[in-house]
Chain A
Amino acid sequence: MSIPNTVEQEIIIRAPRTQVYAAIADPAKVVRWFPDSMEGDYTAGHQATFDFGEYGKVSIYVEAAQPESYFAYRWVSGSHFAPSGYVGDVLTHPHTLVEFHLEEIAEGTRVKLVESGFASLPELYRAKNHEDNTGGWSYMLARLKTMAEA
């Protein structure tokens, strides 16, 4: 076990890396699987805002965009730290760094997600945990259903 400062997840997607990168870095495509919509400038060194509908809006600062291997942004992370979202200057507020690493493999593309910086955050909004977990589930299931039926 290491210092609890980082969360990591990996997934293998059966598609060329070009398409996976576009799905993450292209503002028209990322809204097909993540936020409902977004506004602002979704390019490196600029800020955009993800809109999660009833779950609020979250500002992000695009840290880096390196086609087709790396995309990263800073944000005031989700339900635990900003239960009703956060819109404003990300860099002057305690935040985490979200990184997508894309690697070409025989089956397609391996995506490694790393979210780090929890150590720099203030207290967790612990009381909200359970509620938000359920909210998160039904939200994501609803999204999956919509996409599956599209």
Chain B
Amino acid sequence: MFRALADPVRWELVQRLVSLHQPTISEISSEFGITRQGVRKHLEVLAKAEIVSLEPRGREVFIQLRPDQLRDAHLALVDIERQWERRLNALKLFVESTVASEDSEAHQSANDSISLSSSELAE
């Protein structure tokens, strides 16, 4: 699914489809300045990933965006973003509490406190 969206033309196409109601391949073709065959190729990739469905009617093919897939992909990325937010908060809490406790212990046991790895300090 992400792979299908990773192409810049397809991504633009999907963004445009959000604000169009069942456009035809011909309409998209003239708007994007790509041949109908080119548009169809991109749409077939999107259809395979279940991002759009294609509906032939007479001589035209109508394009229907399938929002569920996009919403799921978006939610997955939002979820991953939140996971990192939690992890970075845990990192912050750990580092800041370590700094605080080292500061308060510094005068009483300067030599004993666990130092940061000296190889890194030496860089």
Contacts and interface: CB of A to CB of B under 8 A. Distances in A.
Contacts of B5: 3-4, 119
A4 B123 contact: no
A133 interface: yes
B120 A15 contact: no
Interface in B52-104: 72-77, 79-99
B90 A19 contact: no
Given A19-B98, A24-B91, A123 B80 contact: no
Closest 7 A-B residue pairs measured CB to CB?
A: A119-B6, A33-B94, A11-B88, A33-B90, A9-B84, A67-B123, A119-B2
Interface residues of B, number: 40
A16 B77 CA distance: 31
A55 B92 CA distance: 22
A14 interface: yes
B90 A144 contact: yes
Interface of B: 1-3, 5-6, 8, 11, 15, 72-77, 79-99, 116-117, 120-121, 123
B76 A126 contact: yes
B83 A13 contact: no
Contacts of B84: 7, 9, 113, 115
Interface residues of A, number: 53
B93 A34 contact: no
A126 B120 CA distance: 41
Interface in A40-82: 67-68, 77-80
Contact of B91 (A11, A14, A18, A132): A11
13 contacts: A4-B74, A4-B77, A5-B2, A13-B91, A14-B96, A19-B98, A21-B120, A22-B116, A33-B90, A33-B94, A68-B120, A124-B76, A129-B79
Nearest to B102: A19
Contacts of B88: 9-11, 111, 113
A7 B2 CA distance: 13
Nearest to B122: A67
Highest count of chain B CB atoms <10 Å: which of A7, A8, A121, A147: A7
